[in-house]
Amino acid sequence: MKLKVIKNVLFYFISALLLLIILTELLPIQTTMKVLGFKGYSVASGSMEPIIMTGDYIVLTRTDADNLDKDDIVSFYAYLPTVSGGRSLQIVTHYIYERVETNDEIYYITYSETDKNPEDGIKDIDFWRDENNQATFIYPEDIIGKYSFRIPVLGTIIMEANKIVSNPMLLILIAVNIGIVVVLFKYITKKPKGDEK
């Protein structure tokens, strides 16, 4: 009886967690942060390894940019080079190195885990460029949230699932294959009828 209760609790917990992840994936980032106060996303690069691994699913919490300290891990929007030679707005997760206040603006200098040097501390900082390839900084409005925790491998699963969902033919093939497996399983496990005499 106890085992059945534990199984049911685990089933409902995992189902609720998956539903929550699906909802946060469907809603825009800013909406999710305003409504729920947190947002999760899949990590596609290794600039923060081994702290955050490629394929991890990380959870960000809403934060006031004024309260960020040195070495806080944050996710923010930045323009990164594309294969075609242009630049596209993407989400980056790095450390805060310094908050800079000038007469007319506030901005942040950031660095990655790969910029760390175990002996000397930080060996380099990030140099960001805008969509026109001009030097720029990370501003308070660019910051999405503060890193809270990670779920290993879940990001890879979500990224692969997104590829499947975005390809209708692949989705149909998977559905057909699942249907065939279910039918075969039912056929194989079907008990033969006894001889009626």
Structure tokens at 134: 């001009």
* Residue 88 banded pLDDT, cuts 50, 70, 90: very high
Q: Are residues 32 and 61 in the same domain?
A: no
- Residue 102 domain-assigned (yes or no): yes
Q: Which of 49, 23, 50, 53 is nearest to 38 (CA)?
A: 23
18 φ/ψ angles, rounded to the nearest 5 degrees = -65, -40
66 φ/ψ angles, rounded to the nearest 5 degrees = -65, -20
- Residue 191 domain-assigned (yes or no): no
pLDDT digits (tens, 9 = 90+) for 17-50: 777 776 676 677 777 888 888 888 899 999 999 9
pLDDT digits (tens, 9 = 90+) for 126-179: 999 999 999 999 999 999 999 999 999 988 888 887 777 666 676 677 777 788
User: The domain containing residue 164 runs over which residues?
Assistant: 153-184
- Residue 162 domain-assigned (yes or no): yes
Q: Which of 42, 53, 73, 45 is nearest to 145 (CA)?
A: 73
Tell the residue number behind the tokens 């929007």, with chain if given: 77
Q: Are residues 157 and 146 in the same domain?
A: no
pTM of the model: 0.74
- Residue 189 domain-assigned (yes or no): no
Mean pLDDT, residues 118-124 taken together? 74
Q: How many structural domains does the chain have?
A: 3
Distance CA 98, CA 72 (A): 10
**CATH number reported for the structural domain that contains residue 74 in this entry:** 2.10.109
Structure tokens at 160: 């692969």
Distance CA 109, CA 137 (A): 7
